[in-house]
Structure 1
């Protein structure tokens, strides 16, 4: 599933190619046909991300409509120059501007949103490290009162919005924190360090379009876990030597997701 930096990058990209232009919106697949008809021909005003959620704003005079997209595990946007060719495959939503267009395939959600829907979404999400209005105190309050492992809490979107498995594994390694430590046992100084690191790392992801989590002085040894994937400290490196101490990287299942850590560096 795309992590939060991907959605923020998408929002910026769509704002760049569509912002201020009237766009044609359709649903070749048919599953978003009614919603597409509502915003078709309106001006694409802006797009914003909250964690792993993308919200597009369309405007026509004083009237504003919103479209909410959650990519889930399989959703993706693909771009092509306008005029676009006939759609290929199951295209949930097509947006075509004066110069570029994009097709959305396979999302978990693609739906019209009301202001009340957006308020409800924001209310159930934790602070997003990539948003200027994020309040880390909310995340600290949730973590410091919980007996759940901090590794589980970082992946809980109600605690922190936008953090996925890669950032979870890597930021805990960089902080030297055992992912199985109970949230209420985490020191405030360690939480502050984790939050600061998340903000910095995720901003790099937005800017570069891919994750960079290994510090320059540690960027050596075995390559990335898969082609075109980032080099990591522990994520998907089960049994391989830790880049710092040489201890085999450990793995376990936590809340249905694979957890990776170094038992020597993260104590």
Structure 2
């Protein structure tokens, strides 16, 4: 599932290419046809991301809410428009580009109250300027749930996914199974600030890089990471491989239905 930086990159891209002008809206697949007909030719006012949710605001006509889920994806191309390929749920055509949405978990037209309800159930998003990390701390400091699980809970922190949670915990030497209530507030503030910096870098580059310069391939002589997610990381998907800092094999276990990766030595607790 795409992490928050991907949605913020899409919001920036769609705002730049489509906002402020009328857009042609259609649903070649047909599952969003009635809503698309209502929006077709309307001005797209703004596009924003909140956590793993994307909102295309059409003013009084409503907001298109998209959650990509595991299989959803946008494809982008310059004009002219090509015939749809596959099951295209939503197509937007602007002045210079067009985009197709396939396979989302959610694609729906909502009113302002419904959008507010989605926002209300989400925790602070490290990539938003209106984020209030103290709200996440209130949840974490009262919980006996492992910190690694809390960081994946979108009602605690919105936008962080499996990669960011594993990497930020490693970078701060925190045992992923540490109960939230056992974390000290100064460490939480450091962790949050680092998460903000890492995710902002992800928005700029389109990949997740968490490795310090002294541990990068060009500094250590190791081969670059080969993974469809891209980026250089310390522990994510490196189970059994030596830790880039201490050489201990990276561990893996399942937590809350997802694979968790950590270094048993560097994150000994």
Normalising by structure 2, we get a TM-score of 0.96
Distance 1:74-1:227 versus aligned 2 partners, 3 A rule: closer
Cα distance between partner residues in 2 of 1:227 and 1:109: 24
**Counterpart among 99, 116, 119 of residue 102 in structure 1:** 99
Structure 1 residues 227 and 154: alpha-carbon distance in aligned structure 2, compared to 1, 3 A threshold: closer
Cα offsets for 1:62-114 (capped at 9, x unmatched): x3421000000010100122231110100000000121000000000000011
- Any stretches of 5+ residues in structure 2 without a counterpart? none
Specify the SS of the correspondent of 1:44.
Answer: coil
- Separation in structure 1 between the aligned mates of residue 229 and residue 69 of structure 2, nearest angstrom: 21
Name the counterpart of 2:12: 12
Offset from partner CA, 1:25-54 (integer Å, 9 cap, x none):
000000001111111100111100010000
Poorly superposed stretches of 4+, deviation over 3 Å: none
Matched positions, count: 264
Matched residue, 2:157: 160
CA distance in 2, matches of 1:222, 1:180: 31
Does the CA-based 8 Å contact 2:145-2:180 persist in structure 1? Answer: yes
Match runs of 1:187-202 below 5 Å: 187-202=184-199
1:243 — aligned with what? Answer: 244
Retained in 2: the 8 A contact 1:225–1:237?
A: no
How many angstroms apart in 2 are the aligned matches of 1:199 and 1:226? 23
Residue 225 of structure 1 deviates from its aligned partner by: 4.6
- Quick one: distance in 1 between partners of 2:175 and 2:105? 32
Asked if the contact 2:207/2:229 (under 8 Å) is kept, the reply is no
Pairwise mapping of residues 1-267 of structure 1 onto structure 2 (< 5 A)? 1-59=1-59, 63-220=60-217, 221-227=222-228, 229-266=230-267, 267=269
